[in-house]
Structures are given as C-alpha cells and as structure tokens.
Amino acid sequence: MKQTILFSVLTILLVACGSKNEDAVSVHTRIEQYEDSIRQWGGGSGTKEDISSFADDYINTLLEAYEEEPDNPKNPEYLDRVHMWYSTVGNAPSALKWALVVEEKYPKYPNRQMLLESIAALYDNGITPRDSIKVREYYTQILKEFPTMPESKKQEINDRLKHNNLTMQEYMQIQE
C-alpha cells in the first residue's frame, strides 16, 4: 500500500514537472508575441505607465534571449531593439549603453548607419552633459563609413557638424 501511494505521488510529480516544461513558452516565441502586439498596437494610444511596463517586459525578454544564446545571429537586432525601446521610454543612458554594445560586438550589423546616427543623436541630445566631441566623432564616422548615402543626408550631417558648438535646441532654432 505504501509503495502504491509513493508510486502515485512520484508519478504525479513527474507528470506535473513534465507538463510545465512542455507548456513553457520559449523566449523567442515570447519575442514574436511582443512583436505581434506592437504591430497590432501600431503606435496608438496608451498610458505612459502601460507603455513603460510593456517596454520593460519586452526589453527584459530581449535581454534574456541574448543571455540564453550568446551566439544567436538575431542578437544584434535584439540588442538594437533594446536600445530603441530605452530611447522610446526616455532612458538615454541605457539606450546608449546597448547601442554601443551593438556597435562594438557587431561591426557588420546591417542597420549600422542608423545605429551610429542614433548614438550621435544620444550624445547630442540625450546624454547630460552633451558631448560635442562624441557628436563630431560619430557623425564623421558615418560620413566615412557610408560614402554612398544620399547627398541630402550628407548635407544634414555636414550642417550639424558645422554647428556642433550649438545644442540641439539652439541648432533647431537656427534651422527655422
């Protein structure tokens, strides 16, 4: 009788543990679910708290994927999303931190130009105090690495470099 009860308890535990593993949602599936939610949301309304909570959860999921599989080819994209979501919620230091990780670890990242532009913009208008040396460094780097970019984009960057002594707010005022 004791053996039957013990066997039953062990069987229940094994089944329960097994079903939890089968029901567990992979981190990549959760990322896809977040992305589906973002597509459905489409930038619509939501409270700041809701958006911030969503961003925190999504960021944590992206970082979990990065930590679980350090060699996953999607990691540069995941970390770029981390950087963009930190920018979205106004956390410039964390946005910069993860953008710099992508820049350093993934020099062949397909969205490198946009990433470098974001880094320059964060140094220009996100990080306090503003770092005009880094602004110049990154905008100059963009011009060197991407010489075939549209002339209009080159002109924008050169104009910003010409007025690098101005804050972004001051620069925008002279543009009006």
pLDDT in tens, 54-77: 899 999 999 999 999 999 999 999
Phi, psi angle pair for 109, to nearest 5° = -55, 125
Find out whether 175 and 153 touch, Cβ atoms under 8 Å. no
Q: Is the pLDDT of residue 133 over 60?
A: yes
Question: Chain-wide mean pLDDT for the chain?
Answer: 86
**Mean pLDDT value across residues 89-97:** 97
What pLDDT is recorded for position 40? 81
What pLDDT is recorded for position 118? 98
Q: Is the pLDDT of residue 1 over 70?
A: no
Find out whether 122 and 104 touch, Cβ atoms under 8 Å. no
What pLDDT is recorded for position 10? 32
Q: How many angstroms separate the Cα of 75 from the Cα of each of 54, 62, 114, 133, 164?
A: 20, 8, 17, 29, 33
65 compared with 53, residue with greater pLDDT: 65
Confidence of residue 36 (pLDDT cuts 50, 70, 90): confident
* Tokens 């905008």 belong to residue: 139
For the entire predicted model, the pTM comes to 0.81
Token pair belonging to 67: 């930590």
State yes or no: cis peptide before 110, omega within 30 of 0.
Answer: no
Whole-angstrom Cα distance, residue 129 to residue 110?
A: 30
